[in-house]
Amino acid sequence: MSEIQLPAAFETQMIDLLGTEEFLQFKKAIDLHSKTSIRFNTSKPVKKDWVKKTISWSEQGYFLEDRPSFTLDPSFHAGAYYVQEASSMFIDHILKSIESPKGIYLDLAAAPGGKSTLLSGYLGDEGWLVANEVIQSRAQILKENVVKWGLGNTVVTNNDPEHFSPLEGFFDLVLVDAPCSGEGMFRKDPQSRNEWSTDHVTLCELRQKRIMDQAGALVKAGGYLIYSTCTFNTKENEDMIRFLTDEFSYEPVRIPLNSAWGIRETQVEQDGKIYYGYRFFPHLVNGEGFFITILQRSESGYSQEAKRIKDFKHPFLKEIPDRESLSLDEELGFDGQGKYYSLNDSFFRIQKDWNLHFQKLSQHLSLKYFGVELGKKQKKDWIPTHEWALSNLPKNGFEKWELNESDAIEFLRKNEIELQGLPIGWVLMTYQNLPLGWIKNLGNRINNYYPKEWRIRM
């Protein structure tokens, strides 16, 4: 039980929202323990003996009976699953309910990457995701999680929402999980109760309006805008629907619900139309507090398509010509659909279907990572990257070595391990057939190339 009291003004706000009797149920629920939930990566199948229960609104989401040590699970570091709050996995149900067209998506406030990896998984080879984070240190964490997920269909950017203004009408879907007052985290993080105030709610509302004033323009005609918060108050939720539909031409979208889920639909009437939001209360669902709404840009909205840039120029990136890109794809045993760029002599690969979009983005945004970085080439030999190891791209020509759990953990700690009979040269370390990273056997010694900043310190 938590000993941290709820602020009086917050209690009044919640009584207004729920009524006195239901508020008491809510208050009791937020002093109970949160349930741990994870979402599996379908491209990296793994067997787990965890006692788990499906999350009804997410095909790959599960509640765990007990919280294992994820830090000491090699398959976690391989990107086989993501530890994500259950309520936010409702985005999976939204995408499938509206059969959202796969194209170019934007996650505008993406760190640490839970929603980005969900979007990336939905898009697969049929789309391209821009995962943006305004805070540089958080953009690095976002990049790590995108790399672990391994799909190579994402560009990580580090930009303020204002920097996206040249990309008005460019995206098929824009997701904004807005920075908020965090009321929905009062169970998971009781300390956050001490940081709450009505002034902070007002500050968050103003920040959200600034973000959404930019984000609302980025969706192309017929595209979708998803707005979410982890808070309960109407200022940051229903009032934001009013703000958006006042500023931009959006149509309502209603998502089917199963009453057994405990998700509460809310309605906002605006200009003779009913818009819908979805509220997650911890006394009604196993997840944390959450609010989400989805709107569709009217067909009269502006659309901007990616056009060929005659002479692509970038201060850091060098475009590899199409013929050479095809040769690289053939050499590496890929599918022949790659387009390559080099940065500091290291080769990056994206799917060529999204090359025009990528070039457009690169003219306006600060790129932190994109596609899959393969590494440097010395004559016919490759110096492979950790990013390539964790990607779903083939690693033809490299030996593999399956590690048991204890050796895998030692590898992830960058400790020395005895591996009798290890082939000479670059060797891909795997655990349960999931790539973990590279070792180079020089004969007289073995070098562990697991990134120093990623190593297990536990």
Burial 141-178 (b: 16+ CB within 10 A, else e): ebbbbbbbbbbbbbbbbbbebebbeebbbbbbbbbbbb
Residue 217 Cα to chain centre, angstroms: 22
- Alpha-carbon dihedral angle through residues 429, 433, 436, 439, given to the nearest 10 degrees: 10
- What's the CA angle centered on 263, arms 17 and 257, to 5 degrees? 135
* CA 254, 259, 262, 267 torsion-angle sign: positive
Task: Identify the bridge partners of residue 349 per DSSP, sorted by sequence position.
Answer: 340, 372
Diameter over CA atoms, the chain: 77
Cα-based distances in Å from 231 to 10, 32, 234, 297:
11, 18, 9, 25
Query: What is d(CA 299, CA 289) in angstroms, rounded to the nearest whole number?
Result: 33
Query: What is d(CA 29, CA 27) in angstroms, rounded to the nearest whole number?
Result: 5
Q: Are 154 and 144 in contact (CB under 8 A)?
A: no
| Phi, psi dihedrals of residue 145, rounded to the nearest 5° | -70, -35
One DSSP character per residue, 394-445 reads --TT-EEEE--HHHHHHHHTT-----TTPPSEEEEEEETTEEEEEEEE-SS-
Catalytic site includes residue 204:
no
Residues in the chain: 458
Q: Which of 128, 129, 65, 117 is nearest to 92 (CA)?
A: 117
List 80, 173, 217, 230, catalytic entry? 230
In the β-sheet with 81-83, what is the strand arrangement from edge to edge? 52-54, 61-64, 36-40, 81-83
Query: What is d(CA 79, CA 393) in angstroms, rounded to the nearest whole number?
Result: 14
84 Cβ partners below 8 Å, 6+ apart?
37, 38, 39, 61, 114, 118
Query: Within 13 A of 92's CA, how many CA atoms are on the CB side?
Result: 20
Q: Which residue numbers are catalytic?
A: 230
